[in-house]
Structure 1
């Protein structure tokens, strides 16, 4: 019975917990590709596409606010990529260390062998490296979006800027998911039971956060920008002329 508790718990609970996380994210990917309006990611991307269109209605000299918004995303992605890299270095140092006292403690219910400990560290390290790579790609696409949206001539197609912003947002989402996987695997250090419970709790919480019950905002499709402004100015001038004509009558 002791052999069952110490050895087979890792062989059963850890793969099941990891499989639950994978199945949920495959389900989320399926919903996002087929019904994006029912997912929070699709709802946010819909708003970001409209945001790019509205920002391009402004003159290039007035798009400083748009660049500031993208710079905020750049700062967040840079911070998370730095944190992921630091954690990768820390885990690499622990992996190369010969002392694994925390993994051989008596309070851990599961396999505490050296080979299992190595698998734990390598698994966690892999997801932190994936998160680091995704956040670097997020920074790359947002920087590209800043260059395009601040183009002074204003002849950059809307689709190009939308593609850069949405790709950066998608890499950001994948990086966060990699951190979620890494967090559940960190619980594996304390045994397979915390890892399994953490996976189930993470799926429940993520399902509540990823579902979208709000209807898609229907933004106006006016793309004339300066044309609408000139039209409004023309209407105001016409009203002023009418006032002068009215007061100029005998």
Structure 2
């Protein structure tokens, strides 16, 4: 396999994933330093208040708590199932390919695409499974009497851990999409990563119109 056959893969594929990874590193730093400029930080704050509200009025809101957590578990279960089905589908698809498609340059590149895609989907399934396990534990503890093992602080930490694993599973699932397009050429990988970053930015960060609210939050020392 000559350099001219695969140099585009070396340029576009790492560049696309470098943009994807760099965006998430920047997002993580913003969540740690300025949480209320991101939807991740604001949602975490809302879940903290939700746990306190449920525990304070547990008699009236016990069913609401169980239904809310059940919906979150169902969402994670759906994504975990999708990841497993895609793994099986990709395994059947790649095993049926006898000749490389457009953008493939031999058995090595085909195997690399298959292993990379399967690794992301399998890890995505693992993170979703851990999230389901943690959310199930929260579902049991949220209606228990407030004791040392089920304090609001512990439940909030457990709930945030479950949503964190769910978010990582989602992002790994999204990262597998460009690899799916890699079978048609490396340029599509770069364009897909760029498009995903743009779409994720619009959902991960708050609009500039909310700066006054952010200033009030920081001024009150709630962050």
Q: TM tier, shorter chain?
A: 0.7 to 0.9
1:165 matched residue in structure 2: 159
How many Å separate the matches in 2 of 1:29 and 1:59? 34
How many Å apart are 1:98 and its aligned residue?
A: 5.3
TM, length-normalised to structure 1? 0.78
How many Å separate the matches in 2 of 1:121 and 1:10? 15
How many Å separate the matches in 1 of 2:61 and 2:89? 44
Kept in 1, the 8 Å contact 2:73–2:135? The answer is: yes
2:26 matched residue in structure 1: 27
How many Å apart are 1:89 and its aligned residue?
A: 2.1
Q: What SS does the aligned partner of 1:154 have?
A: coil
How many Å apart are 1:7 and its aligned residue?
A: 1.8
2:172 to 172, 178, 184: 178
| 1:120-139 residue CA offsets vs partner (Å, 9 max, x unmatched) | 01111111011101110110
Further displaced range: 170-179 or 204-213: 204-213
The count of aligned residue pairs is 209
1:81 matched residue in structure 2: 80
2:45 matched residue in structure 1: 46
Kept in 1, the 8 Å contact 2:130–2:162? The answer is: yes
Larger Rg: 1
How many Å apart are 1:116 and its aligned residue?
A: 0.3
How many Å separate the matches in 2 of 1:3 and 1:142? 49
1:205 to 199, 205, 209: 199
Aligned CA RMSD, in angstroms, stands at: 2.0
Kept in 2, the 8 Å contact 1:10–1:192? The answer is: yes
Higher helix fraction (1 or 2) = 2
Pairwise mapping of residues 170-249 of structure 1 onto structure 2 (< 5 A)?
170-213=164-207, 214=210, 215=213
How many Å separate the matches in 1 of 2:11 and 2:163? 35
How many Å separate the matches in 2 of 1:21 and 1:62? 40
Q: What SS does the aligned partner of 1:150 have?
A: coil
How many Å apart are 1:65 and its aligned residue?
A: 0.8
Kept in 2, the 8 Å contact 1:43–1:212? The answer is: no
How many Å apart are 1:33 and its aligned residue?
A: 1.5
How many Å separate the matches in 1 of 2:117 and 2:14? 14
Question: Which segments of structure 1 move beyond 4 Å, counting only runs of 4 or more?
Answer: none
TM, length-normalised to structure 2? 0.87
How many Å apart are 1:59 and its aligned residue?
A: 3.1
How many Å separate the matches in 2 of 1:49 and 1:174? 20
How many Å separate the matches in 2 of 1:59 and 1:204? 41
| 1:189-244 residue CA offsets vs partner (Å, 9 max, x unmatched) | 111011111111111111121112343697xxxxxxxxxxxxxxxxxxxxxxxxxx
Pairwise mapping of residues 90-129 of structure 1 onto structure 2 (< 5 A)?
90-95=89-94, 97=95, 99-101=97-99, 104-105=100-101, 108=102, 110-129=103-122
